[in-house]
Structure 1
Amino acid sequence: MNKQLEWKTDFKEAVEQARKENKAVLFFFFNPA
């Protein structure tokens, strides 16, 4: 099983969840600083 592919799937799900709950969280995902 491709570990990176698994991570991408988990990340995609996390982004979808964040998009529903709070767009600020989604912003943080792509702008960590």
Structure 2
Amino acid sequence: MSEEILKVEKLYFKYNNTDILKDINFSLEVG
């Protein structure tokens, strides 16, 4: 069961990685 969760988390992170980086860059620029 935990292995399935890890797979989902990896896919989620892979497809949203660029959005996360954009949010971090935006926060750094504004902050």
Give the TM interval when normalised to the shorter protein. 0.5 to 0.7
Aligned length: 21
Alignment RMSD (CA, Å)? 1.1
Gapped regions of structure 2 (runs ≥ 5): 25-31
Report the identity percentage: 9
Larger RCO of the pair (alpha carbons < 8 Å, separation 6+): 1
Structure 1: unaligned runs, 5 residues or longer: 26-33
TM-score (norm 2): 0.56
More helix by share: 2
Q: Normalising by structure 1, what TM-score?
A: 0.53
Larger Rg: 2
